[in-house]
């Protein structure tokens, strides 16, 4: 399954939809949805937009797994996220989640960020060791 197919399947599972319902409600042929789910096609932008609109997610998140329209500021506390009803995280409109789902989404996002931080720290440690050993570091 393609990444688009995986994201689409995850949304279908979360929202408890079947492909036939998605096709009927979004206006995208069921055969196209089936091919997306089976990794046999990447939908045209028009179909991507229809799917995203019906599923209430950012089309760029559905297509590439990223959200380019939303930039989240660093919160002062997790309570800011829990009470905020207007942002999109991982392609899910936050205000449509239950409190338990909000916590789950935030924990997943936190784990991703911690993984990225660990990679950065590892890279810095390698760089420091190289500098301490007198190794020459080349650009490019």
DSSP category for residue 73 = P
pLDDT for res 1: 46
> Is 135 strand, coil or helix?
coil
> What's the pLDDT score for residue 84?
46
Tens of pLDDT, residues 100-109: 777 777 777 7
Whole-model pTM: value is 0.47
User: Among residues 29, 43, 34, 44, which one has the least CA distance to residue 12?
Assistant: 34
Residues of the chain with pLDDT under 70: 1-2, 66-97, 136-140
């Amino acid at each position: 399954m393609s990444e688009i197919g995986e994201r689409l399947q995850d949304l279908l599972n979360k929202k408890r939809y079947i492909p036939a319902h998605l096709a009927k409600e979004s206006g995208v042929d069921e055969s196209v949805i089936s091919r997306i789910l089976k990794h046999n096609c990447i939908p045209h932008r028009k179909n991507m937009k229809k799917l995203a609109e019906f599923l209430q997610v950012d089309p760029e998140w559905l297509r590439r797994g990223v959200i380019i329209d939303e930039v989240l500021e660093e919160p002062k506390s997790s309570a800011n996220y829990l009470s905020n009803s207007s942002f999109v995280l991982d392609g899910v409109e936050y205000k449509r989640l239950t409190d338990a789902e909000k916590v789950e989404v935030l924990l997943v996002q936190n784990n991703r960020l911690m993984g990225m931080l660990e990679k950065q720290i590892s890279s810095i440690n390698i760089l420091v060791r190289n500098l301490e050993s007198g190794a020459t570091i080349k650009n490019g």
